[in-house]
Amino acid sequence: MQMRSSLTHAFLVGLSLCLLLTSCSTMNRDNQDRDEIQPLSRAQAETVLLTPQNLGPLYRQVALSDDDTSDPGCFATLFNSPKATTELERDFDRVGAQGLATVVSDVMSYRTTSAMTREFARVRRGLATCKHIDDTSDGVRTRLKVSGGFEKSSPVADEQINIWATGTFTSGGQRLPGGVWISLARIDNHAVSVGIFAADSRQSTDLPAYSKVAINRLAAVLAGKRPPPEKVAQPTHNNIVSEAQRLHLQPYFPKFDVQEIQNRPCKLLASAAIFLSQHDKVRPLRIRNAHLLADHRATVIPPGRGHRALIYSCGGTATWSDDIRTQVIIRLTLNARGQPFVDIEESAA
């Protein structure tokens, strides 16, 4: 796959590690007894990192990349932070799956909680303006829509930053849907980060599940205990299909529309066809018995210029404004610019 050398560990590790260095606290603990604040030792940090047992047989641990690819767009500003006292990472590649999928586990410590506080505040400010990335470097054009949240994956975390960036990667004439999902969670002056990178991949991106395991491992080590043998549940076939659909559709539709396209595809398409035809001289008034005919929701990507790619199509029975009832086909397509179109026509059958 042409994009592999540019987009696996070089890109994700850069994002994950640098974001990890920005983990911090909103609590002021400058007056805390300095004897109680210690960075993790290397041995402790090694124990905190996710393991092959946590991820299960769907992943294999891989060597760390030495590539120093720069972060794209506004991520370059977000990831400009001081070096941590202790920091380690471990990388995993998805095996036996279409496309590309990588999980990166990171852990780090600063000497003081106040240092974490300053970095966390800086990242929050940066995320407020980092909404889109359109960057070309190292032969790869990265176009991502960035959003964030602060929901905790585990109650033992003091706080957490979640970042989602979805869109497309283009290299060597290939345009692939993909994204980066990162969670950073802090306990005192220590933090864990889990990053998932996926390009054209049929893998689940259940980031909260991965993050929960990472946080619980950190909490156990800080308590002087052995981390629990937690395993991220392997996704079901339906989960994988759902994630693949979301990965391919999210760059082109608002989140609400993606959920509707996934959960009620033909009802949504029938309603859209009726609404868009409302000013036609002869228009459909009702479309009943709508059902899927062709489904490319989990694989669609924008086509070449001048063409449209089929996302999915539905058949049904339409009642028209001239009192005629016919069989119809409704299609949802995507053009080269990622713009969706709905069209309806009478079926020859």
Answer yes or no: is 270 within a domain: yes
Q: How confident is the model at residue 70 (pLDDT cuts 50, 70, 90)?
A: low
| Same domain membership, residue 270 and residue 194 | no
Structure-token match 């946080």, residue found? 215
Answer yes or no: is 249 within a domain: no
More confident residue, 69 or 284: 284
| Same domain membership, residue 268 and residue 208 | no
| Same domain membership, residue 158 and residue 274 | no
pLDDT tens digits for range 153-187: 999 999 899 988 888 888 887 888 888 898 999 89
CB atoms within 10 A of CB 80: 13
3-class DSSP string for 252-276: HCCHHHHHHHHHCHHHHHHHHHHHH
Looking at 209, 244, 279, which one is the last position of a domain?
244
Q: Is the pLDDT reported for residue 14 higher than 50? A: no
| Same domain membership, residue 123 and residue 264 | no
pLDDT score for 80: 65
| Same domain membership, residue 298 and residue 227 | no
Lowest mean pLDDT among 12-26, 161-175, 196-210, 306-320: 12-26
Bridge partner list, 160:
185
Looking at 198, 224, 244, which one is the last position of a domain?
244
Domain that holds residue 130: 4-244
Answer yes or no: is 81 within a domain: yes
Answer yes or no: is 250 within a domain: no
The number of domains in the chain is 2
Highest mean pLDDT among 23-32, 235-244, 275-284: 275-284
Answer yes or no: is 337 within a domain: yes
Q: Cα 306 to chain center, whole Å?
A: 29
pLDDT mean over 135-160: 89
**CA 329/CA 182 separation, integer angstroms:** 40
Backbone angle region of 139, left / alpha / beta, with phi > 0 → left and psi within -120 to 50 → alpha? left
pLDDT score for 79: 62
pLDDT mean over 321-347: 93
Q: How confident is the model at residue 27 (pLDDT cuts 50, 70, 90)?
A: very low
| Same domain membership, residue 290 and residue 216 | no
Q: Residue 212 belongs to a domain with what CATH number?
A: 3.40.1000.70
Bridge partner list, 287:
318
| Same domain membership, residue 330 and residue 225 | no
Looking at 217, 244, 271, which one is the last position of a domain?
244
For residue 2 the two structure tokens come to 């042409």
For residue 87 the two structure tokens come to 């920091």
Contact 110, 85 (CB under 8 A): yes
**CA 109/CA 82 separation, integer angstroms:** 12
| Same domain membership, residue 305 and residue 157 | no
More confident residue, 142 or 6: 142
Backbone angle region of 204, left / alpha / beta, with phi > 0 → left and psi within -120 to 50 → alpha? beta
pLDDT tens digits for range 193-215: 999 988 887 766 678 999 999 99
| Same domain membership, residue 267 and residue 128 | no
Answer yes or no: is 127 within a domain: yes
3-class DSSP string for 48-69: HCCCHHHHCCCEEEECCCCCCC
Selection from 191, 194, 195 nearest residue 218 by Cα: 191
| Same domain membership, residue 311 and residue 224 | no
For residue 31 the two structure tokens come to 């007056």
Strand stretches in the chain, DSSP E:
59-62, 86-94, 100-109, 132-137, 140-149, 159-171, 174-187, 190-199, 284-295, 308-320, 325-335, 340-346
Answer yes or no: is 128 within a domain: yes
The DSSP secondary-structure symbol of 99 reads: S
| Same domain membership, residue 312 and residue 259 | yes
**CA 109/CA 177 separation, integer angstroms:** 34
Residue 225 half-sphere exposure, CB side, CA atoms within 13 Å? Answer: 9
Answer yes or no: is 201 within a domain: yes
| Same domain membership, residue 240 and residue 114 | yes
